Structure 1
Amino acid sequence: MPAASGNGKSGTSGKKGVTCQGSNTKTVAAPLNRPVNHMLLTVTNTGSSICYLYGYPAVRFGEAQSVPPVIEDSKPQAVVTLAPGESGYSSVNLSAADGSGTNGHTEKSLAVYFQGRTPDEDVPSAAHPSLPAKGAYIDDSLKVTYWQQSMDNAISW
């Protein structure tokens, strides 16, 4: 039987998908010029089977004690599915563009934690993407989007 083509999943049929996490992905955090005060998280599946990006990234800048809230309106209709080599995206709103955010400061480190299919699934491996040398300026308006299949969807929030 010939391999399927065009669906991005050729060669992965019959393999059970796994939860995306730090150990089977590469995560890059890149500042965006537009929208202003945003960062794009790009997660690329480096494993040999499909992985699923559930929910949204739990980002932790520096020694933060809590994770920022998600933008509920950004919830996609389906779980983001990444074949080997494919990428998924989330946008991080770092600070208020109008300066209305409080407790603004610069952080030099970032950890990205992944969610499981169910709340009790343990996803042990976080990602630790590099931030720009000058760090990332954040304030209390910090928010993230749900994982998105396309970069355009991620940066539309």
Structure 2
Amino acid sequence: MSARTHRTRMLGAAAITVVTLTLAACSNGEGVRDEGASAGSTSTSSPTASGTPSPKADGGTSTGAGQVRPAGSGSKGSASEGQTGGAAGSSGTTGSSGSSGSTGTSGSSGSNDSASAHTSCSSTSTRMTATVVSRPLNHLLLTVTNTGSKNCDLTGYPAVRFDEAQSVPPAFEDSKPQAVVTLAPGESGYASVLLAAADGSGAGGFTAKSLTVHFGKGASAARPSLPAKGVYVDDSIGVSYWQSTMADALTW
């Protein structure tokens, strides 16, 4: 018998011995357990006390291989959206306070001022003075001051009469202002009177001792005082329209 044949027989006998021992162990209810496999199966399928699988330790839900999304993350998003919407709604309601701006319409009461028509200035609500000026020559300055409590208008030009003159002198049309002169209480308006030609070329001259000034047709008249010696007047006489400043009045 060769050595190779001898080894083969010995190996066969050993294999038979192992099988025999294995069968004997199985018949006794004992076997070999794979501790690694057993532990793995226990971790994946061990039941809870209620018989249902236990949840994941972190309470999350699987969103993909190896990824876990925290539980309730979706509900947090919806809650924040609800809070944002609520905040937006509350801020929107505060906008309604802007409606209080409608009270600004009460400012329309200011239209009462424009609605109230200005009255024409008259001798009862004004004070008038007549002053002879040195420049320009032969000029008389009329000053009207509003002594009333309301605005009044100086319209047109003054109609002046010296002594018992039958007519009133004409106005210098170029002196007509662009707007009516309105006097607030305490304010003054002005007009000038050219009494006589500066070069003495005028005719029909005389010395007047009194003056009557009408504010307009049918209006009451004022009678400002003249200097004691009177003023010399000839047919060159003329008047300016009412002006808002003394300088404008004395231009004519």
TM-score of the two chains, using structure 1 as the length reference: 0.86
Query: What's the counterpart of residue 95 of structure 1?
Result: 196
> 2: distance between equivalents of 1:132 and 1:94?
14
Aligned counterpart for 2:156 among listed residues 49, 55, 76 = 55
Question: What does residue range 113-124 of structure 1 map to in structure 2 within 5 Å?
Answer: 113-115=214-216, 122-123=218-219
The aligned runs of 1:4-15 (5 Å cut-off) are 13=113
The higher relative CO (CA closer than 8 Å, separation ≥ 6) is in 1
- 1:115 Cα offset (Å): 1.7
Q: Could you say which structure has the higher strand fraction?
A: 1
Q: Give 1:135 deviation, angstroms.
A: 0.4
Give how far 1:70 is off: 0.3
Which one of 215, 222, 228 corresponds to residue 133 of structure 1? Answer: 228
**Partner letter of residue 224 of structure 2?**
P
SS in 2 for 1:56: coil
Partner residue in 1 for 2:176: 75
Q: Which runs of 4+ in 1 moved over 6 A?
A: none
In structure 2, list runs of 5 or more residues that go unmatched: 1-112
Q: Which residue of 2 aligns with 1:26?
A: 127
State the alpha-carbon separation in 1 of the partners of residues 237 and 123 from structure 2.
Answer: 22
Q: Which blocks of at least 5 consecutive residues in structure 1 are unaligned?
A: 1-12, 117-121
SS at match of 2:128: strand
Look up the match of 2:61.
Answer: none
Tell me the CA shift for residue 59 of structure 1: 0.3
Alpha-carbon distance between aligned partners in 2 of 1:45 and 1:100, rounded to the nearest angstrom = 37
Shift of 1:17: 1.8
- The CA distance in 2 between the partners of 1:84 and 1:45, in whole Å, is 5
Structure 2 counterpart of 1:137, one-letter code: Y
Give a deviation string over 1:81-110, Cα, whole Å, max 9, x none. Answer: 000010000000000000000011100000
Task: Specify the structure having the higher radius of gyration (Cα).
Answer: 2
Aligned CA RMSD, in angstroms, stands at: 1.4
C-alpha displacement at 1:21, in angstroms? 1.2
CA offsets 1:24-57 (integer angstroms, 9 cap, x no match): 1100000000000000000000111000000000
The residue number in structure 2 matching 1:151 is 246
> How far apart, in 1, do the equivalents of 2:117 and 2:246 lie?
26
CA distance in 1, matches of 2:122, 2:192: 17
- If the length of structure 2 is used for normalisation, what is the TM-score? 0.54
Q: 1: CA distance between counterparts of 2:241 and 2:125? A: 19
Q: Between the two proteins, what is the percent identity of the paired residues?
A: 63
**Which one-letter code corresponds to 1:23 in the other structure?**
T
Aligned residues: 140
